[in-house]
Amino acid sequence: MEKILEIKNLSKNYDNFKLEDVNFNLEKGYIMGFIGPNGAGKTTTIKLIMNLIKRNSGEIKVFGLDNLHDEKKIKNRIGFVYDECNYYDNLSLKDNAKMIADFYDKWSWSEFDKYIEKFELDKNQKIKELSKGMKTKFAIATALSHDAELLIMDEPTSGLDPIFRQEIINILQEYIEDGNRSIIFSTHIISDIEKMADYITFINKGKIVFSEEKTKIEDEYRIVKGGLDILDSGIQNNLIEIKKNKFGFSGLTLNSSALHEKYGEAIVIDRPSIEDIMLYMAGER
């Protein structure tokens, strides 16, 4: 299968933060959810792909092309939606779009108009009059209007109500339906990921924890719960993360069958949601 995005040994050093040895790939036709707590390195990774910041080491290939050497060719085929970047507040949606449209070979005003209408936006309104959600909708409309083969989105659904988030999910799923386009998006809203992602890449403290097919994650990870009395080093060695309370413990494991064999009825084995996995591996509950 053709790889649309290949990241090898990517590193970036800041004073207080390091992105270390990031490796993952995305194949054509799929959606990758890029998750991790705040400050984990999601935005840094995306900025490195788009060459907004310079990497210290590693390689990034998009559409099989080097992202530094063929920057312009690549960016022509990428649609982007950022969380922070701003448009010209005093200009209308239409004028802002005009300033972007000319740069793309395959820009389509009819597609743009279609999305603007679908999102119930007014082309002639100024950006500063829009809510955050509406600005995001505008950003999404521009990203989808030039036949981009890869959509790179940083928190594309933040600021949107659940009804509209579902609509965006539907639009994105339709966008990749022909199998020729891919999407990578980072988000905190894990429920969006659970629905539409094919692959999930989890980053924490600048390192990739896993990058895997969602079905494999569903197969492999389990939550094991039991009483504190059986919590010994034998169990602990099999748990990736453990949480204890007064009445028992729960832990994330990849070895549920081994534990089931050994402890049988003494433990309860549950399937975790993606959010559960992230909370166990990265946060305090």
| 27 vs 231 by CB, closer to another protein | 27
Coil, strand or helix at 105: coil
| Shortest reach from residue 47's CB to another protein, in Å | 7
| 113 vs 218 by CB, closer to another protein | 218
Task: Tell me the C-alpha distance between 193 and 198, whole Å.
Answer: 9
| 122 vs 213 by CB, closer to another protein | 213
| Shortest reach from residue 3's CB to another protein, in Å | 15
Coil, strand or helix at 63: coil
Coil, strand or helix at 18: strand
| 121 vs 217 by CB, closer to another protein | 217
| Shortest reach from residue 236's CB to another protein, in Å | 26
Q: Which amino acid is at 45?
A: T
| 166 vs 231 by CB, closer to another protein | 166
| 11 vs 231 by CB, closer to another protein | 11
Nearest to 37 by CA among 190, 240, 250, 249: 190
| Shortest reach from residue 237's CB to another protein, in Å | 26
Nearest to 189 by CA among 84, 34, 3, 1: 34
| Shortest reach from residue 239's CB to another protein, in Å | 21
Residue 272 backbone dihedrals phi, psi, to 5 degrees = -85, 155
Task: Tell me the C-alpha distance between 27 and 136, whole Å.
Answer: 26
Give the distance from CA 256 to its chain's centroid: 28
β-strands 222-226, 182-186 pairing: unpaired
**Residues lying near another protein in the complex (CB under 8 A):** 29-31, 47, 50-54, 71-76, 78, 80, 82, 84-89, 95, 98-100, 102-105, 169-170, 173-174, 176-179, 195-199, 213-215, 218-219, 271
| 159 vs 230 by CB, closer to another protein | 159
Sign of CA dihedral 141, 145, 147, 148: negative
Task: Tell me the C-alpha distance between 250 and 225, whole Å.
Answer: 4
| Shortest reach from residue 43's CB to another protein, in Å | 11
Task: Tell me the C-alpha distance between 39 and 56, whole Å.
Answer: 19
| Shortest reach from residue 229's CB to another protein, in Å | 26
